[in-house]
Amino acid sequence: MNYPAYIAHMEALTGRRLPALYHRLAADGMLDWGTGMPDWYKTPSPRLLTHPPLLLIGN
């Protein structure tokens, strides 16, 4: 998903500007969790661990 474009779309749709933090997280790839699939933990998960998105690792 193109999160910067999605944020811009939602801002235009609602007429409100999201805080700069959201734009920064989207630009840095910190909102991209990959796509859902049955073996998500085998395929995208190892790639995400090299540059984890916000709140990927929590316990």
CA quadruple 44, 50, 55, 59: dihedral sign: positive
pLDDT in tens, 13-58: 999 999 999 899 899 888 877 666 777 667 666 667 777 777 666 5
At 5, list the tokens. 């474009």
Q: Around Cβ 36, how many Cβ atoms within 10 Å?
A: 7
Residue 57 lies in a domain: no
- Taking the model in full, what pTM does it have? 0.62
pLDDT band at 10 (very low <50, low <70, confident <90, very high): very high
Residue 58 lies in a domain: no
Q: Which residues span the domain enclosing 10?
A: 3-50
Residue 59 lies in a domain: no
Task: Look at the chain and report how many structural domains it folds into.
Answer: 1
